[in-house]
Amino acid sequence: MNNQTWTDWFIAILNTLDTYLGSAHYFPFVLLATGIFLTFYLKFPQIRYFNHAWRILFGRYETPNAKGDASHFQALTTAISGTVGTGNIGGVALAIYLGGPAALFWMWMTAFFGMTTKFVEVTLSHKYRDTDSNGFIVGGPMYVMEKRLNMKWLAVIFAVATVVSSFGTGNLPQSNSIASGVQVAFGIPEWLTGSVLAILLGLVIVGGIHRIVKVAEKIVPLMALIYVIGALSVIVANLDQVGESLLAVLSDALTGSAASGGFLGATFAYAFNRGVNRGLFSNEAGQGSAPIAHAAARAEDPVSEGMVSILEPFIDTIIICTLTGLVILSSGVWTEKHQNEFQNFDMQFLHGNYNADDPEDREELFGHLSSSGADIEVFDGILQVIAGIAVTADHTVLHNRSIAEDVRYYLKGELYTGPLTIQHGKLMTDMDVNGRSLIHSVDLTAEAFSRGFFGDFGRYVVAIGLVLFAFTTAVAWSYYGDRAMTYLFGIKSLIFYRSTYVLGFFLAAIADTSLVWLIAAITIAFMTLPNLFSMLVLHREVKQTVDQYWANFHRKFPQKKSKSA
Instruction: Examine the domain organization and report whether 294 and 417 are in the same domain.
Output: no
Instruction: Examine the domain organization and report whether 45 and 90 are in the same domain.
Output: yes
User: Are 53 and 307 contacting, i.e. CB atoms less than 8 angstroms apart?
Assistant: yes
The answer to the question of residue 268 being in a domain is: yes
Half-sphere exposure of 45 (CA within 13 A, CB side): 29
Tell me which residue of 469, 12, 22 sits closest to 224, measured CA to CA: 469
Burial of 11 (0-12, 13-18, 19+ CB in 10 A): middle
User: Are 108 and 318 contacting, i.e. CB atoms less than 8 angstroms apart?
Assistant: yes
Q: How far is it, in rounded angstroms, from Cα 162 to Cα 290?
A: 11
Q: What tens digit of pLDDT does each residue of 124-154 get?
A: 999 999 888 888 888 999 999 999 999 999 9
Q: What tens digit of pLDDT does each residue of 175-226 get?
A: 877 887 788 778 888 889 889 988 988 888 887 777 787 887 888 888 888 8
Query: Where do runs of H (alpha helix) occur along 295-427?
Result: 302-309, 311-313, 322-331, 359-369
Average pLDDT of the residues in 478-485: 91
Beta strands 137-138 and 130-131, pairing class: antiparallel
Number of domains in the chain: 2
Instruction: Examine the domain organization and report whether 427 and 456 are in the same domain.
Output: no
Between residues 560 and 385, the one the model is more confident about: 385
The pLDDT of residue 517 = 64
Residues in the chain: 565
Confidence of residue 261 (pLDDT cuts 50, 70, 90): low
Instruction: Provide the b/e sequence for 499-528 (b: ≥16 CB within 10 Å).
Output: eebbebbbebbebbbbbbbbbbbbbbbbbb
Tell me which residue of 97, 99, 529 sits closest to 272, measured CA to CA: 99
Residue 260, SS3 per DSSP:
strand
pLDDT cut 90: percent of the chain above it: 32
The answer to the question of residue 17 being in a domain is: no
The pLDDT of residue 356 = 77
Average pLDDT of the residues in 13-34: 80
pLDDT cut 70: percent of the chain above it: 92
The answer to the question of residue 307 being in a domain is: yes
Q: What share of the chain is helix, strand, coil (3-state, %, to 5)?
A: 65, 10, 25
User: Are 112 and 285 contacting, i.e. CB atoms less than 8 angstroms apart?
Assistant: no
The answer to the question of residue 442 being in a domain is: no
Instruction: Examine the domain organization and report whether 365 and 479 are in the same domain.
Output: no
Select from 437, 459, 476 the last residue of a domain: 437
Residue 391, SS3 per DSSP:
coil
The answer to the question of residue 16 being in a domain is: no
User: Are 481 and 501 contacting, i.e. CB atoms less than 8 angstroms apart?
Assistant: yes
The yes-or-no verdict on residue 259 having pLDDT over 90 is: no
Minimum mean pLDDT range among 109-113, 247-251, 265-269:
265-269
138 forms beta bridges with 130
Instruction: Examine the domain organization and report whether 395 and 489 are in the same domain.
Output: no
How far CA 92 is from CA of 14, 15, 172, 276, 326, in Å, comes to: 22, 21, 18, 11, 10
The CATH code of the domain that includes 211 is 1.20.1740
Name residue 450's amino acid.
S
Instruction: Examine the domain organization and report whether 344 and 327 are in the same domain.
Output: no
The answer to the question of residue 552 being in a domain is: yes
Average pLDDT of the residues in 15-33: 80
User: Are 177 and 470 contacting, i.e. CB atoms less than 8 angstroms apart?
Assistant: yes
Tell me which residue of 347, 343, 348, 282 sits closest to 510, measured CA to CA: 343
The pLDDT of residue 7 = 65
Instruction: Examine the domain organization and report whether 357 and 297 are in the same domain.
Output: no
Where in 313-467 does DSSP place strands (E)? 338-342, 347-351, 381-386, 389-390, 395-399, 402-403, 405-411, 414-415, 418-423, 426-427, 432-437
Instruction: Examine the domain organization and report whether 539 and 512 are in the same domain.
Output: yes
The pLDDT of residue 12 = 77
Instruction: Examine the domain organization and report whether 82 and 54 are in the same domain.
Output: yes
Q: How far is it, in rounded angstroms, from Cα 45 to Cα 33?
A: 16
Four-CA torsion 152, 157, 159, 162, nearest 10 degrees: -160
The answer to the question of residue 417 being in a domain is: yes
Select from 382, 402, 437 the last residue of a domain: 437
Between residues 500 and 518, the one the model is more confident about: 500
What's the distance, CA 275 to chain centroid?
11
User: Are 481 and 222 contacting, i.e. CB atoms less than 8 angstroms apart?
Assistant: no
Select from 437, 464, 499 the last residue of a domain: 437
Which residues span the domain enclosing 401? 340-437
Query: Where do runs of H (alpha helix) occur along 252-341?
Result: 268-283, 290-294, 302-309, 311-313, 322-331
The answer to the question of residue 190 being in a domain is: yes
User: Are 28 and 277 contacting, i.e. CB atoms less than 8 angstroms apart?
Assistant: yes
User: Are 427 and 447 contacting, i.e. CB atoms less than 8 angstroms apart?
Assistant: no
Average pLDDT of the residues in 157-170: 86
How far CA 28 is from CA of 7, 42, 325, in Å, comes to: 29, 21, 20
Instruction: Examine the domain organization and report whether 298 and 371 are in the same domain.
Output: no
Half-sphere exposure of 166 (CA within 13 A, CB side): 24
Q: What tens digit of pLDDT does each residue of 434-469 get?
A: 999 988 887 889 899 999 999 888 888 888 888 888
Average pLDDT of the residues in 332-349: 87
The pLDDT of residue 515 = 66
Instruction: Examine the domain organization and report whether 423 and 524 are in the same domain.
Output: no
Residue 417, SS3 per DSSP:
coil
The pLDDT of residue 516 = 63
Instruction: Examine the domain organization and report whether 247 and 377 are in the same domain.
Output: no
How far CA 174 is from CA of 3, 5, 105, 167, 168, in Å, comes to: 26, 27, 24, 9, 9
